[in-house]
Chain A
Amino acid sequence: MTTIDDRIDAEVALPAAGADPDDASAPTRVTPPKSPGDGFFGRVLPPTIMLALFVGIWYLYSTVSFEQAFQRRNALPYPHEVVQDGFLPLWEDGSGTREILGFMWPTIKVTLLGLGISIVVGVLVAVIMNMSKYFERAIFPYAVIAQTVPILAITPLLTQVFGDRLGVRLAVVFLIAVFPIITNTLFGLQSTDRLHHDLFTLNKTSRWTRLWKLELPSALPALMTGIRIASGLSVIGAIVADFFFNQGDKGIGFFIRVTQQRAANRPDMLAGTITASLFGVVMFLIVGAITSRAIRDWHDSAN
């Protein structure tokens, strides 16, 4: 076999191969022609109009429900009442935004911890299911059950196994969030390109190398989709857990449950609800940002 230097010398002697007739690198990213919807107003205006519409309907509904005497006790507070009585004062002990954020903290902890556990366990389970059809058939029905069982029905059981503090809250989040991670990761692992598998077979690759260098990377976009779905669900799980369990660090769910009981506290309840929803949105956005960072260079879905 020739050495490298020989080859390079020989290359010069041979007819030149021509200069890149098919170089596609120059315009790597084609920007689509600017549509009227791309500017600042194009992006911000539509959701703002929707918000205004929503607040308008809210005012209308509050007015109607307040006009009717028999409904007055359950009347929906006006949006400005939610701001004044719910969120304000911004930073005073035991009331307003600061109080709400105080209740948010345990919820955030439970959400992140529960989501973390779901990701680790979910990916592990998917990897095991991907190892053989037998494992897949053995595990899948129970993954479905974890998803479909009504949490309310197994509350006593959960309390018995996990206590009534942090453990049981994490269990609720886990039960709700793990399923989309398992199914999406499994789907990703199983849709690894057949020719890529052949390529690794030709290189006599071990099972682990194949998993690590081929299957997991090609499952990454699907895994991230699973995490994105799970992130929203885990917020719901953490809040729902507060409704069932009284012990341990009380989260925003507890705050909502308590403040809904008296009409005078209802602005606080709505402020708490809005804050919890915003947290869900923030989680969704963070996972989305991580996703596009992780795969934007190579995956078609990310721009």
Chain B
Amino acid sequence: MTAADLVPDEASTSDVRLRFDHLSMVFPDGTHAIDDISFTVSPGEFTTVVGPSGCGKSTLLRIASGLETGYTGLCDVNRDSIGYVFQDATLLPWRTVLRNVELNAELHGVPKAERRRRSNEAIELVNLVGHEHKYPKQLSGGMKMRCSLARSLVLNPGVFLFDEPFGALDEITREFLNDELLRLFALEQFAALFITHSIAEAVFLSTRVLVMSNRPGRIIGDYRIPFGAERPHDLRFEPEFAELCGQINEDLKDAHV
């Protein structure tokens, strides 16, 4: 398969929230991070990019969010409506859960009463009720991540960027958080771009999985995931699920050559 086969078929859709068109990035030190990447993400689409570590997946997100500039090609996204979930929960340790969840809204100048109301709702959505007044060091890794999710939810973003958010968690916690993320996605119908190196996680969460090659990162595989919106926890043990994972794994093996 070549990149040319993968020209996005939905590029003409009008409600596309995030569009990459022939996007390439070479860092000032000569590192060729990503090469000629084109795809779009629309509301209700959950697109995941899997690839070996160091393949430029994170660069893709950093470009989308505006943290990285100096790329060539097109990156079209409304930056006022982005939720970014980092690899690390990035909670401010001197703030309680509630005040951390409020942070984004606070920095955007949302009035106090309003942001408190929204924050409490977000805390309810991620099942952190009762922990509002704890500090991050009192939370487990999974709870920190949920707090981080809530912080992004408060601004009701149209596009969610996830940079390997559950990579540092144990598998059980990760699977529970995957379930929760799907539930949130079903509620909010945002456009999601998710980065991971776990194939199972990618298949479980996504409506579409893109496979990225070693550096410079190219799209070398494109999979529509046929499962519906409701995905039970046990879906991970269905033969169809395993087969998809196997195919993607084959692609990744090629990517490593």
Contact = CB atoms under 8 A, between A and B. Distances in A.
A218 B91 CA distance: 12
B92 A217 contact: yes
A101 interface: no
A217 B87 CA distance: 22
Counting contact residues on chain B (CB < 8 A from A), the size range is 35 or more
Interface string B131-164: 1001111111111000000000000100000000
Contact of A18 (B108, B141, B143, B176): B176
A9 to B, nearest CB: 10
Interface stretch (B16-24, B48-56, B181-189, B199-207): B181-189
Interface stretch (A20-28, A41-49, A77-85, A267-275): A20-28
Interface string A281-303: 00000000000000101111000
Given A11-B125, A195-B90, A196-B90, A202 B139 contact: no
B183 A297 contact: no
A17 B95 CA distance: 26
A200 interface: yes
Contacts of B137: 298-300
A117 interface: no
Contacts of B108: 203
Interface residues of A, number: 41
A1 interface: yes
Given A202-B65, A203-B104, A21 B173 contact: yes
B140 A22 contact: yes
A203 B79 CA distance: 10
Nearest to B65: A202
B230 interface: yes
A161 interface: no
B134 A25 contact: yes
A247 interface: no
Contacts, number: 107
A23 B84 CA distance: 24
A207 to B, nearest CB: 13
B139 A24 contact: yes
Contacts of B156: 1
A138 B234 CA distance: 63
Interface in A1-45: 1-2, 4, 7-8, 10-11, 14-15, 17-25, 28
Contacts of A203: 103-104, 107-108
B240 interface: no
Interface string B197-225: 00000000000000000000000000000
A17 B183 contact: yes
A205 B124 contact: no
B94 interface: yes
Nearest to A8: B124
A23 B127 CA distance: 11
A67 interface: no
A63 interface: no
A25 B86 CA distance: 23
Given A11-B125, A22-B142, A17 B180 contact: yes
Contacts of B186: 10, 14
B188 A25 contact: no
A299 B183 contact: no
A7 B125 contact: yes
A220 B95 CA distance: 13
A202 B85 CA distance: 11
Interface string B67-90: 100000000000000101011101
Interface of B: 65-67, 82, 84, 86-88, 90, 92-95, 103-104, 107-108, 121, 124-125, 127, 131, 134-143, 156, 172-173, 176, 179-180, 183, 186-188, 230, 232
Which 4 A-B pairs have CB atoms at the shortest separation, nearest pair first?
A24-B140, A22-B142, A203-B107, A22-B140
11 contacts: A4-B121, A14-B187, A17-B176, A18-B179, A21-B176, A22-B141, A25-B138, A201-B67, A203-B103, A298-B94, A299-B94
